[in-house]
Amino acid sequence: MPDSPSAFVPLDDTPLDAAMQQKHWRKDWRLSSLASSLDAFLASSGFDRGPWLAVAFGTGIALWFALPGPFEWMMALSLATLAAIGAIALWRDDDSRAHIRLACVSAGLLVAAGLAGVWTKSEMVGAQPIARPVVETIDGRVLERIEQPAEDRVRLVLAARSPEDGQALKVRVNLPAAQDDPALGEGARLRMKVRLMPPAPPMLPGAYDFARTAWFQGFAATGSVLGEVTVIEPATAQGGIARLQRTLSAHVRSQLGGSPGTIASALASGDRGAIAREDEEAMRDAGLTHLLSISGLHVSAVIAAAYLLAIKLLALWPWLALRVRLPIVAAGIAALAGIGYTLLTGAEVPTIRSCIGAVLVLIALALGREPLSLRMIAVAAFAVLLIWPESLIGPSFQMSFAAVVAIVALHSSAPVRAFLAPREEGWASWASKRGLMLLVTGMVIEIALMPIVLFHFHRAGVYGAFANVIAIPLTTFVSMPLIALALLLDVAGLGAPAWWLAGKSLELLLALAHWTADQPGAVKLVPQMSGWIFALFVGGGLWLGLWRGKARLLAAVPLILATAILLSRPIPDVLVSGDGRHVGITGEDNRLLMLRDTRSEFARDNLRELAGVKGEPIPLARWPGAQCSRDFCSISLKRGAGEWHLLMARSDEMIAERALAAACDRADIVVADRYLPRSCQPRWLKADRRMLDRTGGLAINLEQQSYRTVAEGQGNHGWWQGRGTR
């Protein structure tokens, strides 16, 4: 029994507990008030909720790529699901929280669905890469043939079996064009000696990740053919879309030679393999690369032309015009034309997105609904991500949807609608307004695409908006109709005049691209943009494009923050490739210093892009401040208040351990493509084969005494898992 009467006093009546209850009530009231304010904000915003569902689905996919491994993926999946269940349980019968409940439930479930979807696809299609480079004879069947005349080669995708363990492999090999044969088509069974390598990870932090792309395409290895190819069974005689595409591409190039022929081939069939490197770079730096990739512009032009031709021709048949709704019939014909063009040109992600969007526009027109809306874009994005979730992190998907969202958001805004509203005006005023809006639209698209292009390619054209004012109408209303007319006239052998005119229009397009790309300041270089900076740009851009009203101006916060961080990031002082063979040094000249005078364009381009340098690199052995022997190069770099001594291996020759240890003692950083002995102990960083196998390539900042690695962005995904133990 208690000794004090006060022990019988109920706990709720104590002054201390009353204070605690008052504190909890105040906290609950604040949370309730916050929830009410948020629900009221969602109810009054008037935004289109449909696109945000696609954003939630994409967020789940992005989380799978960003988080490091299965434990974190399961945690994110569980939290997203619990958020949906918790919203239902917390506000089940509370109509005052209807909007926030719906937002939490739909967002939570779609985030979980996106993460689970990409994880499932990775497990289904991912192929474990081979352990190490090998040279072996394989027996395989051709799954796909990719012609690349500009590179003087043919790529063959083969289904083969490993001679070591008999496991099925999907490999891609390069065959010199001189060894090509018509029998090496889809369905052929071949025997050949090949050199195979695991799909290459990024050479440097921020570089292109081919290993990730190969994982989702099912490639276990890539390589090249050594010697002759033996045809066991020739290619099957059936046609197929791929064969038709190659035939069409070859026909276009046979009718129109030179660079215009390669561009015409890309517009007609989607085959870009023949475009010269200098032309492709000029188009990229001029902001015109989108014209080479079959996307919304091309599909829309084909569908619009098919729709107009169909409805005009059908209207000439009075019996049919009086009995059926011609817009519906014409829309069906145009949809078939768009689907056929999409399949013919390779069915890439931008083409599929454009085809889905165009078909939705046709359905809206047939039903008398608003044809262009953000909800239509969301449906197309959701369809693409459902089938190809990995496309979310690729530049093709991002650029395609960013451009369309920017166009629709701009033209849906009240000021633009008022500016373009129908009114009584002369043709000159009407044309000038449309011309001005074309320029403004081009500038908005360039601004929307700039972070994406800089993140993936580290360079972007600055004058693309102005070049597109001429290039888009030229391609849409002159070049593509002339190519279509020439192909139609070729049936009767009368296409030569149309081909000549098409060639002249494409010569003008190429001249515009080269002239724009050659202007001073035409290209903006940004060597390093981290994933977090890019996420700020994406989040701000989505809020600006998808929200409505004054609240969309809040997008300025992440956009300004991302821009400030990006501009303040220093360029790396030293870049080290993942194999340790290639080292780039910046800051000593306007050009890049390279350890090896390599013939590899891939290595040179990667080092230049990630160093933010345009000119040709200088071999370190020719640099006055460097000391190079047959085996090593050393150089001293002054950064800030300190001086750094670098020692880099150049050969595979055996070095006396005592001499090597003494050289390492005098160096701050040692880089080697071999395993160095433990006696080699530099003052700060030892980037030898043992370390680089774990980290991949390095981007080193000397003044801050820090470095970024390729491994930081890879996590425990299948294309990277176990790399250091191979």
8 Å CB contact between 378 and 275: no
What pLDDT is attached to residue 44? Answer: 61
Looking at residue 468, its amino acid is: N
DSSP-based three-state secondary structure for 201 = coil
Task: State how far the Cα of 460 lies from the Cα of 448, in Å rounded to an integer.
Answer: 12
pLDDT of 222 higher than 90: yes
* Beta bridge pairs of residue 316: none
pLDDT of 286 higher than 90: no
pLDDT bracket for residue 14 (50, 70, 90)? very low
For the chain, give the mean pLDDT: 83
What is the arithmetic mean of pLDDT over 301-309? 81
Task: State how far the Cα of 627 lies from the Cα of 511, in Å rounded to an integer.
Answer: 45
How would you class 580 by CB atoms within 10 Å of its CB: exposed for 0-12, middle for 13-18, buried for 19 or more? buried
What pLDDT is attached to residue 389? Answer: 93
Q: Per-residue pLDDT tens for 575-599?
A: 999 989 999 998 887 788 999 887 7
What pLDDT is attached to residue 3? Answer: 46
DSSP-based three-state secondary structure for 227 = strand
The number of beta carbons lying within 10 Å of the beta carbon of residue 474 is 18
The number of beta carbons lying within 10 Å of the beta carbon of residue 696 is 26
Q: What are phi and psi of 290, to 5 degrees?
A: -60, -20
Full 3-state SS string of 113-135: HHHHHHHHHHHHHCCCCCCCCEE
The number of beta carbons lying within 10 Å of the beta carbon of residue 186 is 17
Task: Label the pairing between strands 626-628 and 618-619.
Answer: unpaired
8 Å CB contact between 286 and 513: yes
Task: State how far the Cα of 298 lies from the Cα of 290, in Å rounded to an integer.
Answer: 10
Task: State how far the Cα of 631 lies from the Cα of 633, in Å rounded to an integer.
Answer: 7
**pLDDT winner (highest mean) among 154-163, 394-403, 424-433, 665-674:** 665-674
Smallest CA-to-CA distance from 480 within 456, 439, 509 is with 509
Percentage of the residues of the chain whose pLDDT score is greater than 70: 88
Query: b or e along 362-372 (b: 16 or more beta carbons within 10 Å of the residue's beta carbon)?
Result: bbbbbeeeebe
**Where in the chain are all domains bearing CATH 2.40.50.320?**
134-238
What is the arithmetic mean of pLDDT over 652-670? 89
The pTM of this model reads 0.84
Between the alpha carbon of residue 463 and those of residues 122, 295, 443, 447, 693, the distances in Å are: 39, 21, 9, 11, 41
The number of beta carbons lying within 10 Å of the beta carbon of residue 97 is 20
- H or E stretch covering 25: helix 15-45
Q: Per-residue pLDDT tens for 150-180?
A: 888 999 999 988 766 677 889 999 999 888 8
Task: State how far the Cα of 581 lies from the Cα of 598, in Å rounded to an integer.
Answer: 10
Least trusted range by pLDDT, from 86-95, 158-167, 278-287, 679-688: 86-95
Q: Per-residue pLDDT tens for 313-329?
A: 888 888 877 778 777 88
8 Å CB contact between 293 and 346: no
Q: Per-residue pLDDT tens for 468-502?
A: 888 888 888 888 889 888 988 988 888 889 999 99
pLDDT of 7 higher than 90: no
Task: State how far the Cα of 243 lies from the Cα of 676, in Å rounded to an integer.
Answer: 52
Task: State how far the Cα of 322 lies from the Cα of 131, in Å rounded to an integer.
Answer: 69
What pLDDT is attached to residue 28? Answer: 47
DSSP-based three-state secondary structure for 146 = strand
HSE-CB at 571 with a 13 A cutoff on CA atoms is 19
For domain 134-238, the CATH superfamily is: Copper binding periplasmic protein CusF (2.40.50.320)
8 Å CB contact between 467 and 287: yes
Q: What are phi and psi of 651, to 5 degrees?
A: -135, 175
What pLDDT is attached to residue 25? Answer: 44
